[in-house]
Structure formats: C-alpha cells, structure tokens
Structure 1
Amino acid sequence: MSLSNSPSIRAIERRLLARWPETKLEPSLDRIVSVLRLLGDPQRRYRSVHITGTNGKTSTARMIEALLAGSGERTGRLTSPHLTSVRERIGIAEEVIGVPAFRSAFSAVGKQAELVDASMPHPLSFFEMTVAMAYRAFADAEIDIAVVEVGMGGRWDATNVIDADVAVVLPVDLDHTDYLGPTTTAIAEEKAGIIGPGSVAVSALQSQEVAAVLRERAQTVDARLVSQGADFILERRTVVEGGQVISVRGLYRSYSNVFLALHGRHQAENAACAIAAAEGALGRELELGAVRAALGQAASPGRFDVRPGSPLVILDAAHNPHGARALAESLTELAPCRTFAVIAAMADKNVEGMLRELEPVVDVVVCTRNSSPRSLAPAKLAATARQVFGAQRVHVAFNVATALDKARTLAAPLPGNEPDGLVLVTGSVVTVGDANQVLPADTPRRPMGQPLPG
C-alpha cells in the first residue's frame, strides 16, 4: 500500500473503534493467539515485563521503561487507555509510535484479523487489535524489551500471550467486580495469572489475602516472588517543589536521594516497584545516575498531571475509590487552597465511593458528563454528590468544557486578596482526555522541579 493510499490516523481509529469495545469482554485468548500466530508470533522476539494491579499501572510502566532505556535497552511500551489518540498506547524507544509505523502495524494486523474474524464465533475486539498491533510494531522496531500493561485483570487479558521475564502486581483493590469477581481475593486470582513459569514476580504492598494468592501462584509456577516491604522497600520520601525525593532499597543495592518528578506517596511506592522490576529484568543493579535521570524526568499524562497557570489545573484519571484515595492524599501535600473539582464518571463505577474519598479535600464539585456514551448523566451524578457534599457545594454543567469554565470562575480570587483556588479534573480517563483537548496547547504538562543534590 503506497503512502498516498494509506488510511489517515482518524480513519484507522474509526475502524478500530467500530470493533467490539474494550469494555465488552469474552474470556478467551483464542482470537489474539490466532492473529499473532498468523503474524509469526512477533511477541516471541523480545523480552517483556508485564504489569497488573488496580491502579498505577501506566505510571509504573513509564517508570520501568525509562529505567530500562537509561540502562541501555531499546524499549517498547503498551499502555491503556489513551487520552486523545490511540497511538498514545504504543511507545517505541520512549516516544509515541510514529504515524508510518502505526499504519504499517494496522495494515499487517488488519489483513490477518479478517481471517480470524471469519473463523471465530466472535470478532477481534478493539483492544485485541491494539495489542496485536503493538506486538507487531515492537518486533518491527527490533526492541530489546517490552513493558506491557494489562487492560483488565490478567489471566484472560489479551496482553497475556507473552512469556514475561518479570510480572509486576501493583496494589489490588476492588474494581471491575462484574468481570473480575466481588472480592479482592477473586480479583487477585485473575491478576496473578500474568505470573508465568520461572519469572520474577514483583509484588507491591498487598493485603494479607492478596499476598497469599500471589505466594500460591508463584509457588505453583516456580516463579521467584519478591515483595515490597521485605525484598525491596521505599525507605524515605520528602515532598519538594515539583515532586519528591525518595530513597529506595532495591533487590541489588540502595538508591538514595533520587528526585521523582511525580506527586504522591503512591507514586513513590510505584517507583520502588519500578526499580525492583527493572533490576529483575536485567538481573543486576542499576546505575544510580541512570535511576536519577529516569525518575527525574518521569511523566505520566493524566495522572496527577499538574498544569501550572491561574488557576492551577490538575488532571487525574482516578476512576475508583482506591484511586480517589491516593488522589486525595496527594492533594493534601500541596499548599492548602480551595479546590474545585470537575467530575464525570462512568455509570458502572462506584461513584459514591469516589466522592466520599474526595470530600475532605474538595470544596466544590461541578458534576458533568464526558464524551463516552457510558458516562453517568450529570443530574444523577449531582444527586449522589449532594448526599456526600451537601447541596450548596454541588454545581452541574453540560459537558467537561463548560464544567471547566465554571470551575475556573469559581476558583478566581475572592475579595480580600484570597489566593486562587485550584481546579481538579477527575473521574475517568475519558474525562481527563476531554479536558486535555480544551486546555491551552502550550500549557506545561507538569511543574519542572529540580532534583536536590546528593
């Protein structure tokens, strides 16, 4: 296919989105296995790190990628969901996949997908297509190691056709209970499915029930389980402008006084897991300078993504109570000020649980809807918000753009020279993506804090 006849990125996205949505699941790896076999099993041509957990997967994936790249590895990265473009899901050598490579991967996978669709009871889904495209693109780019985030769960996730050298299980909490099970134990059993024979399994801090599930899985498949708090640990953290300074004892050595350009204790804990995962993948200690360079430039768009300005805007894709709790803790570490939250969430989420976690740190809520057809109606969201915040603290807006305008107006200084408040946008990745599209293009993505010497 000549470049002039190649479909546009928008056309490719439309064709991908016309498939089964990633929220519609049919537990089987048959389709992804079949299409990859027709492609020559590209996922076998490089090593991999696989990441699951309830929250923090994308941020941790980006940190692992940066640590491995800083150690001389050519990397690929697969994360989900995206904020504004499907291309964001696939990274090559720490950059979003280029347009020609994206088109090439779509063309290669699309031809084989037609054969699989015709032979299976259900067609390949949107998510299965993007996974196959990523695995093909990684092989074409001749990467050394892929850092792969699961879409949902683990055992039946389309990404789980790699033989990962390292499996990372971040904190497990309740989410997607309709698919993964009603308890953290049931959810952990699904997520533990990414731990393969002979791999290194890196576990974040977990409840006793979840830890027991991971131990049993590791023993069953003869994997080496390393756990935070025992085999590696976050020793210290200090909040500084633009992020925090952390010290981590890894699997092979300690890394002291490392500036992390991300906010919140949860990101410091994620960084500790990322260091252990990178060490496990390489089988050795990391260079301190490489760790400082990687974490000092860490960025995770849409995850406590601070946009300086007047007022300050924070984008955070928290979409469940566990994520909202981490968000609330991060907000408390900023200088105290009034907080005006723009919230739009999916109708199938535990909205009341999220709101109750945010209530102590949010002054006013502007309830709205995002661009997804799954979005909860603003009136229904507002009804729940009034039960949590009280009627006087709740406003309603038609969409994210108008809600953002309302929140900015409310955050303006009050008489008496009270300082600006800050605007928080949260509730879903789609909500954050909608806000990202209307924020000024030249707004910095995060404060450029400087590492401390040491």
Structure 2
Amino acid sequence: MSDSAHDRIVAELQARWPEHRVGPSTARVEALCDLMGDPQRAYPVIQVAGTNGKGTTAIMIEKILLAMGLRVGRYCSPHLMDLTERICIDGEPIAKERFDALLGEVQPLIAMVDAQEIDGIPMTFFEVMTGLAYWAFAEAPVDVAVVEVGLGGRWDATNVADASVAVICPIDLDHTHILGSTRAEIATEKAGIIKEGSVAVVAAQAPEVAEVIVERCAEVGARIVAEGEGFALLDRQPGVGGQIVRLEGAGGPVGDLILPVFGAHMAHNAALALGAVEAFLGGKPVPADALAEGLEAVTAPARLEVVRQGPTIVLDSCHNPHGARATMDALAESFTFTPLIGVVAMMADKDVEGVLEIFAEQMQTIVCTQVASTDRGMPVDELADIAAGIVGEDRVVSAPSIADAIERAVALADADGAGAGILIAGSVVAAGEARGLLVHEHGGEAGADDLAEEDR
C-alpha cells in the first residue's frame, strides 16, 4: 500500500474523537477487546503511568527486556511523526503496511462497537489505537507488553489490561482540567492502574502523592516496591553523549552503566525501569550484562535530542513546569550554550506562563511560534505577549511556523558565534513538527540545504 493510502487511513482514524477530548470510560474499548477475544490477556503487561517520564521509562524497560532475550511489545503515546511509532514490537515501530492491514482486519469490529453508541459516542481515536496495539501484540505474539498510559489511569483505555506490574512515574500537576486540581486528586486517577495482586513500582513522590498510592495498594492488596528501598540511583557522572550511572537492584549495586541520554531525571527513570523489570521477574535480579546492554541501547527521540550541529539544535518535548524544570536542569548540566536561543510553541490548555518562566531563566532569546497540525496550539501572538510579560519585548521574537522559527533561531545563533545553541521545546506536537524538518527517516541530521528545501 502506498504512503498516500496510509496517510488517508491515518487521517480517517484521527478524525475520530481526539485524545484531548476525554470520554472517561473503558466501556467502549472493553467491548472491542471482547469482540477480539480479549487479546490484552494473552501476555503479561507492565503498565506505566505518571505525569512525566512515562515514555522514557517504558523505553528503558523495553530495552532491558529485549537484552534478556524476550519478545517485547511497547505501546506509547503520543507519536512524533507517524502513528506507527505508537505500536512497537521488538523495539521497532510496526510497518505502515501491517498497520493498515491490521486496521482493516479490526474495522468491522470497531463498526460494531460504534453502532452500540456506548455513552453516546463512537470509539475514540485513542481507544481504537489501544485495541489495535493489544491485537498486534497477541498476534506477534509477544512475551510481555510494556504499555504507557495515555491520560490518567483509572479510566484510560489501556487500563482494560490487568497489569501484573504497575509503574508509577513522578506525579505532578498537568491536565488539571481533567484529572483534578491537586497532586492528590491526580494521583488518585493514576493509581487506578494498580490492580489486585499486582506489584506497584513507584518513583520518589511528594508526600501527598505517596499517601494516595499506599492507600490504593492496601485497598487492592498490591505490593509496593518504592524508589530508595527496592531500587535506587546510587551515583551518576555526566559525560559526552549521556552519563554513567550506578544503580541498586535486587542483586546489589551495578556500576559503570552507560546511559546515552541526559539529565538526573533520566538516571532516575533508569532506576525505576530496573525496579519494574525485577518486579516482573518476581523479585529476581536482572543479569548485569543484560542491564548494561539494555541501558546502552536506549534512545529517546525529542528528549534533549541533538538533531543538528553548527549551530547545535536540541529538541525536547517538555510541556509542563515539572518537565520543563527537569529539561532545563539537564541542559545546563550537559551543554554550555552562550547564548541559548529558544524556539517555543505550546498548547493553549497548558500552564504556559509556568513553563515560560522556567525557560526564561536560561533562554536569552525566545522565538515564539505555533504548531500547524492541531488547533489546540496557542496562537503565536498570544504566546509572544505572555513571553514578553515575563522577559521583556526585547528578548522575544515571533515566527508564524516551526520552520520559520527554526530559520530565525539559526540566524540569531550564527550571528552570536560558535557558542550559541538552540533548544526547541514546549510541546510534543511542536517537537514532532520540528523533528520532521530536521531529521531524515533514516535517522541522520538534515543539513542547511535540506532545511531550506523544506522551507520552500
């Protein structure tokens, strides 16, 4: 099937009720899975929830399991460049042709659920994607599925699976208009992935969040493995291209582990991933060689990803204050940009002012722009006004598109000399649009001529 046919299929699928509109129920995806024969019960599931770090923690879990010789399915969201990134088997996105065929196979069942009008709406985009992922993993078949929660946890579509291991990444304020206005309320929703008899592997949390998780585990009879007790980050040394970490697991300390991503938050994610895999193994230690091989194989697109040199352009998908703080701390530790020029686009429903205040601590100039692929994006003029109120008009530049903003930022960096660098951040959607301009499909950087061609 041609790329144009795939694009048409994707467009039709994305025309369904989108991810940012929530129908808080698992009833529709339960109905689809029932028609498919409950594929989500064909393999053990490690489910990953939290505010920040879900995606990279899931990747790290996947890589460690693959290094142990297991066949692994991973479901993640959102995607950066193509829907197929959301369904990975053995570390690779499902082929476009297979995705299209899979959707064709399941389409009659989707239509049957749509016809039921459960809660008055047809299946949402995310519900369909979740059903396709569970079907693909059963068909493969995989030995284990690593499933990233889309939003919340309790009523998220992924929660139709009963995960044997529930991983809770750091919880903070985000999606407050949906999940609740306090950390405790948000934690209550996310702790819904902890099921009876499961193991909850929990990152360090604020006290009010930890209390909610402990209460949930007591309610359902789940065992807790907490950071600092069952697993831990003992030490880390930043280096070129990432860091060297020393972790504590069930078998004791393991050092000299190469982790090719930046920042303390990533090192803590690695410790959490180790705890998750060991919980999956019933408390047995991960072999040291598999742990080393798995972590060294980690790649994290759009997480402080260097996508171009001369000037250096770094891409990150942070979009809330908690994530922005982790990103900027890691950037300051790992890069020495003088000056740092920011290219920023954000969704209108995010804490825009909170994120910009953190960016402003290091960004000498903020190039404000807007995304083209969704109407959720904040208009550039509105974003620029907010930024100017924080840093002053003389430090704010506006550009109508991501491509234009990159061009402006590169010109500013070239004028400032060899020490200048560019950070593109503020939105997953913006990161995806920028990555499409700056990174070829085979993974190489786009040069200046390529970017100019894209701009035309």
Scaled to the shorter chain, the TM-score interval is over 0.9
Q: Which runs of 5+ in 1 are unaligned?
A: 446-454
1:23 equivalenced with 2:24 (yes/no): no
Contact conserved, 1:109 with 1:129, CA < 8 A, in 2?
no
Partner of 1:358: 359
Partner of 1:449: none
Contact conserved, 1:331 with 1:361, CA < 8 A, in 2?
no
Partner of 1:95: 92
- 228-237 or 418-427, larger mean C-alpha shift: 418-427
Task: State the alpha-carbon separation in 1 of the partners of residues 101 and 137 from structure 2.
Answer: 12
1:46 equivalenced with 2:48 (yes/no): no
Give secondary structure in 2 for the equivalent of 1:412.
helix
Q: CA deviation at 1:72?
A: 1.6
Deviations 1:114-137 (A, max 9, x none): 011111221000000100000000
Contact conserved, 2:360 with 2:391, CA < 8 A, in 1?
yes
Q: CA deviation at 1:231?
A: 2.1
Contact conserved, 2:371 with 2:377, CA < 8 A, in 1?
yes
Task: State the alpha-carbon separation in 2 of the partners of residues 297 and 242 from structure 1.
Answer: 13
- For residue 405 of structure 1, what is the amino acid of its counterpart? E
Partner of 1:391: 393
Contact conserved, 2:51 with 2:170, CA < 8 A, in 1?
yes
Q: CA deviation at 1:24?
A: 0.8
Partner of 1:448: none
Partner of 1:147: 146
1:326 equivalenced with 2:316 (yes/no): no
Task: State the alpha-carbon separation in 2 of the partners of residues 145 and 228 from structure 1.
Answer: 23
1:381 equivalenced with 2:383 (yes/no): yes
Paired residues in the alignment total 439
Give secondary structure in 2 for the equivalent of 1:286.
coil
- 56-65 or 329-338, larger mean C-alpha shift: 329-338
Partner of 1:128: 127
Q: CA deviation at 1:443?
A: 6.2
Give secondary structure in 1 for the equivalent of 2:269.
helix
- For residue 287 of structure 2, what is the amino acid of its counterpart? E
Task: State the alpha-carbon separation in 1 of the partners of residues 270 and 179 from structure 2.
Answer: 26
- For residue 407 of structure 1, what is the amino acid of its counterpart? A
Task: State the alpha-carbon separation in 1 of the partners of residues 75 and 57 from structure 2.
Answer: 12
Give secondary structure in 2 for the equivalent of 1:160.
helix
- 312-321 or 431-440, larger mean C-alpha shift: 431-440
1:178 equivalenced with 2:180 (yes/no): no
Task: State the alpha-carbon separation in 2 of the partners of residues 309 and 74 from structure 1.
Answer: 36
Contact conserved, 2:308 with 2:438, CA < 8 A, in 1?
no
Partner of 2:454: none
Give % identity: 42
Contact conserved, 1:413 with 1:420, CA < 8 A, in 2?
no
- 19-28 or 335-344, larger mean C-alpha shift: 335-344
Q: CA deviation at 1:250?
A: 1.4
Partner of 1:198: 197
- Taking structure 1 as the reference length, what is the TM-score of the superposition? 0.94
Contact conserved, 1:7 with 1:103, CA < 8 A, in 2?
no
Contact conserved, 1:172 with 1:188, CA < 8 A, in 2?
yes
- Which aligned pairs between 1:412-431 and structure 2 lie closer than 5 A? 412-414=414-416, 418-431=417-430
- For residue 134 of structure 2, what is the amino acid of its counterpart? Y
- 210-219 or 288-297, larger mean C-alpha shift: 288-297
- For residue 104 of structure 2, what is the amino acid of its counterpart? S
Give secondary structure in 1 for the equivalent of 2:266.
helix
Partner of 2:448: none
Task: State the alpha-carbon separation in 2 of the partners of residues 278 and 36 from structure 1.
Answer: 26
- 292-301 or 80-89, larger mean C-alpha shift: 292-301
Give secondary structure in 2 for the equivalent of 1:113.
helix
1:223 equivalenced with 2:225 (yes/no): no
Task: State the alpha-carbon separation in 2 of the partners of residues 75 and 443 from structure 1.
Answer: 22
Task: State the alpha-carbon separation in 1 of the partners of residues 415 and 259 from structure 2.
Answer: 31
Equivalent in 20, 29, 32 of residue 29 of structure 2: 32
Partner of 1:272: 271
Partner of 1:311: 311
Task: State the alpha-carbon separation in 2 of the partners of residues 332 and 38 from structure 1.
Answer: 51
Task: State the alpha-carbon separation in 1 of the partners of residues 216 and 307 from structure 2.
Answer: 42
Task: State the alpha-carbon separation in 1 of the partners of residues 105 and 184 from structure 2.
Answer: 39
Q: CA deviation at 1:230?
A: 2.2
Task: State the alpha-carbon separation in 1 of the partners of residues 163 and 403 from structure 2.
Answer: 41
Task: State the alpha-carbon separation in 2 of the partners of residues 395 and 114 from structure 1.
Answer: 48
Task: State the alpha-carbon separation in 2 of the partners of residues 23 and 404 from structure 1.
Answer: 27
Task: State the alpha-carbon separation in 1 of the partners of residues 95 and 236 from structure 2.
Answer: 37
Q: CA deviation at 1:8?
A: 2.5
Equivalent in 409, 412, 423 of residue 410 of structure 1: 412
- For residue 17 of structure 2, what is the amino acid of its counterpart? W
Equivalent in 47, 52, 66 of residue 69 of structure 1: 66
Deviations 1:129-161 (A, max 9, x none): 100000000011010100000000000100001
Give secondary structure in 1 for the equivalent of 2:361.
helix
Q: CA deviation at 1:334?
A: 2.4
Partner of 1:79: 76
Q: CA deviation at 1:103?
A: 2.0
Task: State the alpha-carbon separation in 2 of the partners of residues 25 and 443 from structure 1.
Answer: 34
Q: CA deviation at 1:409?
A: 0.7
- Which aligned pairs between 1:341-356 and structure 2 lie closer than 5 A? 341-356=342-357
Give secondary structure in 1 for the equivalent of 2:397.
strand
Partner of 1:451: none
Deviations 1:222-245 (A, max 9, x none): 111011122211000000100000
Partner of 1:112: 109
Contact conserved, 2:336 with 2:419, CA < 8 A, in 1?
no
- For residue 81 of structure 1, what is the amino acid of its counterpart? P
Contact conserved, 1:308 with 1:443, CA < 8 A, in 2?
no
Task: State the alpha-carbon separation in 2 of the partners of residues 160 and 8 from structure 1.
Answer: 31
Task: State the alpha-carbon separation in 2 of the partners of residues 345 and 334 from structure 1.
Answer: 24
Give secondary structure in 2 for the equivalent of 1:159.
helix
Give secondary structure in 1 for the equivalent of 2:20.
coil
- Taking structure 2 as the reference length, what is the TM-score of the superposition? 0.94
Q: CA deviation at 1:176?
A: 0.3
Give secondary structure in 2 for the equivalent of 1:27.
coil
Q: Which runs of 5+ in 2 are unaligned?
A: 446-456
Q: CA deviation at 1:101?
A: 2.5
Equivalent in 10, 14, 27 of residue 13 of structure 1: 10
Q: CA deviation at 1:396?
A: 0.2
